Amino acid sequence: MKLLVFRALWGMTGSIPEQLERISAAGYDGIEIWPRFLSPSRADWLSLLKAYSLKLIVADLIPDRANLQRDLDELARYSPLKINLQGGQDAMTWDEGCRFLEEALRVEAAIDLPVCHETHRGRLFYTPWTTAAYLREFGHLKLTADYSHWVNVCERLPDDQAAALDLANRHAGHIHGRVGYAEGPQVPDPSAPEYAAELVWHETQWQQICDRRAAAGDEFLTFTPEYGPPTYLHTLPHTNVPVADLWQVCLWAAQRARQQFGAYT
């Protein structure tokens, strides 16, 4: 199994071609984008990806099941490897959540592309225990494992949720490799020793995902070090100056992932 490392355009500057040239030169395998927030046409995107030899993951927020067919159909037209979906809302009842997921699975089968549901604050999969309940109900669901949100929502490294984490790791098909901590979804710099415990905890989960996808015979696993700009990235008071270089943070995380999980390649 090969680990494919993607770069989100979140927080990058310059023209789209300049961004893709920089990403390609840094050795990333592809990019993860939210098409609705970016101006190039679909044809332009596909041409640029070919020019820079980059693969594609597309993402979107779809809070209402009424829009699932339309929005997932549009994302599928980009011919991505996968779709990352921030789906539903945390305030949905159990029945509302089930109807949302039933529709999501129906559309996923129709477009014949993997749809990975992100574990994200404010969305349907905002806690380990809520996610586990839905995974037990819908055995074919795939997750984007962004456990930085769970650490923040739980206000702790959720070791007491071992069963839920094990189930989530079995269903994860994409990783957002960002380290969170009890008071936020993003540490300022994952290489800093003061966040060593958080880094080890997240990497333990990512290793389990890698092991399970390799055992299942997957050809590749996708990983995006999805660190974001301010206000995700901490800033100095009164100046709003970032306390770390976002490009270097993401690059360190990408290189670290290849070192830690590259044994499968």
CATH architecture of residue range(s) 2-264: Alpha-Beta Barrel (3.20)
Give the span between the Cα atoms of 115 and 233, in whole angstroms.
Answer: 28
| Joined tokens for residue 9 | 């355009």
Q: What is the CA radius of gyration of the chain?
A: 18
The single-letter code of the amino acid at 173 is G
Interhelix angle for 196-215 vs 162-171, to 10°? Answer: 50
Instruction: Confirm if 186 and 232 have CB atoms less than 8 A apart.
Output: yes
User: pTM of this prediction?
Assistant: 0.97
pLDDT by residue, tens only, the chain of 265 residues: 999 999 999 999 999 999 999 999 999 999 999 999 888 889 999 999 999 999 999 999 999 999 999 999 999 999 999 999 999 999 999 999 999 999 999 999 999 999 999 999 999 999 999 999 999 999 999 999 999 999 999 999 999 999 999 999 999 999 999 999 999 999 999 999 999 999 999 999 999 999 999 999 999 999 999 999 999 999 999 999 999 999 999 999 999 999 999 876 5
In the chain, what are the domain boundaries? 2-264
The strand pairing partners of 172, in sequence order, are 143
Instruction: Confirm if 171 and 207 have CB atoms less than 8 A apart.
Output: no
Burial of 6-17, coded b for 16+ CB within 10 Å and e otherwise, reads bbbbbbbeeebe
Instruction: Confirm if 126 and 97 have CB atoms less than 8 A apart.
Output: no
